Structure 1
Amino acid sequence: MATTTATSYARVARKLRGQAASDGAGVKLTRVIGSPQLDMLDPFLLLDEFGTDKAEDYLAGFPDHPHRGFETVTYMLDGRMRHKDNHGNEGLLLPGSVQWMTTGRGLVHSEMPEQQEGRMRGFQLWVNLPKTNKMDAPQYQEFPDARMPHVQPAAGVDVKIIAGEVDGARGPIVQPATSPVYLDITLAPSASWEYALPEGHNAFAYFFEGDGSVGHGEEARALSSQELAVLGGGETFAVQAGAKGGRLILVAGRPLHEPVARYGPFVMNTKEEIMQAFVDFQSGKF
């Protein structure tokens, strides 16, 4: 007699709203991960949402600043941002594009707006690197909107795949250390979808347009725009949009289970390694 395995649904273990913050040369943003209410969600160290129509909120940009020991993921929804580093790399992030930068042993980087007016909107996510990769050479994975597949896995559901796999389609970003999933999900009014998360991954969902609910049955919890749900307790992610529809990112990654020492733009495993990063930066080794 065949046996069936009951679906194990992820529930909302925590729900929280981001806090107003500023970074770079005063760019206004909302810090969702990396604040006192949620310091990190291994391997994710920080999630910032930026979004404004006011040029004075973003024109100063993010001038030259160093990084070591982790990855920064910039997802542009609206606007244009030019990045440069001290190794001669340069590129322009356009609406819908993604840059996955592995800072490794160190670089000096800038991100500056390529517009004087209009809407600037997007996300920056920091992903930790394991100790064995923290001193690797810096590298970039950068893809325009057109390189990222879209699938419609259910009625009224569109999924843009940045990293991970949905219905046999794979996103272009690959990182063996954390095997990330990064999906941009658009839901028509009252549309619903279920997705099998990789086993053992930590995951979160963040509504940035509209609203809906996350979880299954009686355990489903409502989420409004700019609310993050930390997921736990099961491998199947279930989401349903509210009456006006919704849009959210779903992000998951394999936790590293390593000690984290962080100070500003450096993320290492020990305090001594952080001190060495400062020495190396000040002596020009980046």
Structure 2
Amino acid sequence: MSSTRLLQPHRHRIGAGFQADGWREPLALLDPFIMVDHFRMSEPAFAPHPHAGFSAVTYLFDDSATGMISRDSLGGEYAIEPGGLHWVLAGRGVMHDEFPAEPGREAHGLQIFVNLPADQKLRAPTVMRLRAEQMPRRVGEGWRAVQVFGADTTLDLPWSTSLVLVDIDVGASFDLTLPEGEQGFAIVIHGSGHTDEFPLAIGRALSLAVGSGARIVAAQAMRLACFCGRPLLEPVVRHGPFVMSDEGQVVAALQRFQSGGMGRLSPR
């Protein structure tokens, strides 16, 4: 059986102001990621809502027409600029809200849910941030790469995960390799190309098993969002915005939310 395969997106829309290609399954191939949405948002789509048991991560592409505002029940209100990263480590629970900084203009980015190890699911929530100029960059023959998060950044990550954004020129190639013991997937953000096995186009994601890799050749100028991480290989129980290790933790998270133990966040 091949160590690479294509993952198809789930396309969803909320009103006229939010649309996304999303990847949520198979969870075993995404581990330690829970979900990734490649989104475009031009108006608020979500009311303030809780998170618990994972990290909610937002990255805005440098072509985003506007930034986003991120609010949380820890008292923070932050501007996410195009090219910037905002990491909300929810832990035992936090209320959260995000929306475009300029109504009517389109924010373009990635919403990423990263699972927390079982022994960190009840840790205190916190927020981490990186500006575009703080992200390490590499240049190769016909390609350029930005490490959005990962081992080479200054973020104190709770688990070994990374996101590298790669731009490949027409006719050039990029060798996608994984760190030892990690699996990953690469989402085509724009452009088209191929590997030895598969054609690649916008909205397709190439999954790579532990120990595998692929050479990607660009037929058109391509941008890839390349995710990798060490699989947690732990039980996951999901209930709406809660990602816990067992049903008892889910019930406890619901009780914390309902009693105000995740804080309060008033509507805009």
TM-score (norm 2): 0.89
Q: Structure 1 counterpart of 2:44, which letter? A: A
SS in structure 2 of the partner of residue 63 of structure 1: coil
Contact 1:12 1:229 in 2 (8 A): no
Residues 3-25 of structure 1: CA deviation (Å, up to 9, x unaligned): xxxxxxxx6632133222246x8
Which of 56, 64, 88 is the equivalent residue of 2:75? Answer: 88
1:20 aligns with 2:11: yes
- Match in the other structure for 1:194: 175
TM-score (norm 1): 0.83
Note the C-alpha offset of 1:189: 0.4
Note the C-alpha offset of 1:285: 0.9
Residues 17-61 of structure 1: CA deviation (Å, up to 9, x unaligned): 3222246x8853324322xx534621111111112xxxxx63123
Equivalence map 1:145-164=2 (5 Å):
145-152=132-139, 154-164=140-150
Residues 219-278 of structure 1: CA deviation (Å, up to 9, x unaligned): 432111110111126344422211x21111100011111100011100001112111111
Cα distance change on mapping 1:246 and 1:12 into 2, 3 Å: farther
Q: Distance in 1 between matches of 2:70 and 2:210?
A: 39
SS in structure 2 of the partner of residue 267 of structure 1: strand
Cα distance change on mapping 1:279 and 1:233 into 2, 3 Å: closer
Higher strand share: 1
Which of 170, 184, 193 is the equivalent residue of 1:203? Answer: 184
- Match in the other structure for 1:171: 153
Q: Distance in 2 between matches of 1:20 and 1:151?
A: 32
Note the C-alpha offset of 1:280: 1.1
- Match in the other structure for 1:185: 166
User: What are structure 2's unaligned runs of at least 5 residues?
Assistant: 263-268
Q: Structure 2 counterpart of 1:161, which letter? A: Q
Contact 1:199 1:235 in 2 (8 A): no
Cα distance change on mapping 1:26 and 1:104 into 2, 3 Å: farther
- Match in the other structure for 1:227: 204
Instruction: Give the number of aligned pairs.
Output: 257
Contact 1:80 1:92 in 2 (8 A): yes
Sequence identity of aligned pairs in percent? 31
Cα distance change on mapping 1:27 and 1:129 into 2, 3 Å: farther
1:69 aligns with 2:60: no
Q: Distance in 1 between matches of 2:187 and 2:90?
A: 25
- Match in the other structure for 1:116: 103
Contact 1:212 1:224 in 2 (8 A): yes
SS in structure 1 of the partner of residue 221 of structure 2: strand
Q: Which has the larger radius of gyration?
A: 1
Q: Structure 1 counterpart of 2:255, which letter? A: V
- Match in the other structure for 2:126: 139
Q: Distance in 1 between matches of 2:122 and 2:248?
A: 15
